[in-house]
Copies of this chain bind each other. A is one copy, B any other.
Amino acid sequence: MPNTLLLKNVRPMAGEATDVLIQDGRIARLTSGQVAEGMAVEDGGGAILLPGLVEAHTHLDKTLWGMGWVPNSAGPRLIDKIDNERTLKGALGIDPARQSARQVVQSLRKGTTQIRTHVDVDTVVGLSGMEGVLATRERYADAMDIEIVAFPQSGMLVRQGTVELLEEAMRLGADVVGGLDPCGIDRDPKGHLDAVFALAEKFGKPIDIHLHEQALLGAFSMELIFERTRALGMEGQVTISHAFCLGDPDTAMVDALLEEIAALDIAIMTTGSASRPVPPVARLARRGIRTCAGSDGIRDTWGPYGSADMLERAMLIGLRNNFRRDDEVELGLAVCTTGGAATMRTAGYGLAEGCNADLVLVEAETLAEAVVNHPERKLVLKRGRVVARDGEALVTAP
């Protein structure tokens, strides 16, 4: 029986043990049954079955993974890190194709089956980041879905020619238009957001904006995003990443922002940053706001942290949001699974019959234990094909 695999003795979402029949890359049946002659079988050993983990915000093009230790020496401001990185990209020889491939393989090992990556587009690197990540996307097409955001990391309007490069990135195959701190970096919030939304409209693509701006400044930029989302009928097509202003202690201000975010069906991405105010995940969930999570940069010139493990990310989100009860810890996991898929509008995501067989097996007693322990992944499937086993990917990186 070609294209058929029987996953025996697994516990979907830590529930009752069952078998899962996979056919043609999809979940065909979720009940225990007889093993047909010659059918490929994997014994799950009672492990928890989760839908593939979702990395909804990272920077594949510029990780230093596998390049040996690079001491970090960037200054304290956001612009210091941006400038430092642009310089080091050339000096260190950070090859976007090679580096994105390395991170993709690391993500696979950890059970991630889809990634949204922001890719730098600027007047120094031009489209080389895009080209590298596009090559990686093609190379790992059978193992990982990669959605690309064309990202003006160094600003759009402050660096002439960037908008044209972003247009070219969209033509090359970017799926999402990126943006960044309309006040803080471009110093022209109206101009920045008009340009971002114009690109989205021109190419009929969604938007994902980095918004590190805190407190009232971040709230102001958000309001400008709301206005444009409504005016252009882009409800449901905008993601705001980081959204630190939603972690402000002024809860009245935050509630007003959340009201609009829910009304406009804007998605929010959080890394659960421990050193910044962060969107309060439980309050977002209560309002039904699509909320996803990401590793952000993994071992890059911005900072040394990151493992590409979205179960560990769920733990960090849990620690940051003071999630202690099991149902709370599970909310952190939801952000790293269904929340990511809802943000990326992934068709067929989940564990129901008919869903994509993007699956991960984890040995733990409960979902909360899977999060706090984040043990090595027992098995990872992409469209029904085994892509990692016992913590090791079956594909390699350069």
A residues within 8 Å of B by Cβ?
68-69, 71-74, 272-276, 299, 302-307, 315-316, 318-322, 324-326, 329, 365-366, 368-369, 372-373
What's the minimum C-beta distance from A267 to chain B, rounded to whole angstroms? 23
A73: B residues at CB distance < 8 A: 325-326
Determine the residue in chain B with the shortest Cβ distance to A315: B305
Additional pairs, 20, CB under 8 Å, beyond known A74-B324, A276-B322, A305-B372: A69-B365, A69-B369, A71-B325, A72-B368, A73-B325, A73-B326, A74-B325, A274-B316, A274-B319, A274-B320, A275-B319, A299-B372, A302-B324, A303-B324, A304-B329, A304-B368, A305-B319, A306-B372, A307-B373, A316-B319
Cα distance A317–B350 when bound, in Å?
A: 35
Complex-state Cα separation, A322 to B273, whole angstroms: 9
Shortest distance between the CB of A77 and any CB in chain B (Å)? 12
Q: How far is the CA of A315 from the CA of B315 in the complex (A)?
A: 14
- Least Cβ–Cβ distance between A149 and chain B, in angstroms: 23
A275: chain B residues within 8 A (beta carbon): 319-322
The residues of B that contact A274 with a CB separation of less than 8 Å are 272, 274, 316, 319-320
Main secondary structure of the interface of A (DSSP, over half): loop
Do A326 and B72 contact each other (CB < 8 Å), given the known contacts A272-B274, A275-B319?
yes
A-B residue pairs in contact (CB < 8 Å), sample of 21: A69-B368, A71-B326, A71-B366, A74-B324, A74-B325, A273-B319, A274-B316, A274-B320, A275-B319, A275-B320, A276-B322, A302-B324, A304-B324, A304-B326, A304-B329, A304-B369, A304-B372, A305-B315, A305-B372, A307-B373, A316-B319
Chain B residues, Cβ within 8 Å of A272: 274
Contacts A272-B274, A372-B304 given: A68-B365 contact, CB under 8 Å?
Answer: yes
Closest to A366 in B: B69
Judge whether A305 and B318 touch: CB under 8 Å. Answer: yes
User: A68 contacts which chain B residues (CB < 8 A)?
Assistant: 365
| Among A276, A306, A322: residue with most chain B CB under 10 A | A322
In the assembled complex, the CB of A249 is this many whole angstroms from the nearest CB of chain B, namely 9
CA A371 to CA B284, docked complex, whole Å: 32
Minimum Cβ distance to chain B for residue A74 (Å)? 7
Report the nearest B residue to A312, measured CB to CB: B312
A315 / chain B contacts, CB cutoff of 8 Å: 305
| B contact residues around A329 at 8 Å (CB) | 72, 304
A80 to chain B, nearest CB (A): 11
Distance of A368 Cα from B70 Cα, bound (Å): 10
CA distance in complex: A249, B370 (Å): 35
Specify which chain B residues have a CB less than 8 angstroms from the CB of A71 in the assembled complex: 325-326, 366, 368
Nearest CB on B from A200, distance (A) = 32
A275 to B322 alpha-carbon distance, docked (Å): 6
- Please name all residues of chain B whose beta carbon is closer than 8 Å to the beta carbon of A72 when the two chains form the complex: 324-326, 329, 368
Closest to A271 in B: B319
What are the residues of chain B within 8 A of A299 when measuring CB–CB? 372
- Which residues of B have CB within 8 Å of A321? 275
Nearest Cβ on chain B to A239's Cβ, whole angstroms: 23
Q: How far is the CA of A366 from the CA of B299 in the complex (A)?
A: 14
Least CB separation from A14: chain B residue: B69
Q: Give A319's nearest chain B residue, CB to CB.
A: B274
Q: How far is the CA of A319 from the CA of B296 in the complex (A)?
A: 13
Complex: chain B residue closest to A317, CB-CB: B274
- A71 and B304 alpha carbons, distance in the complex (Å): 34
Distance between A107 CB and nearest chain B CB, rounded to angstroms: 16
Distance of A68 Cα from B364 Cα, bound (Å)? 10
Complex formed: what's the CA distance from A315 to B73 in Å?
A: 18
CB distance from A232 to the nearest CB of B (A): 36
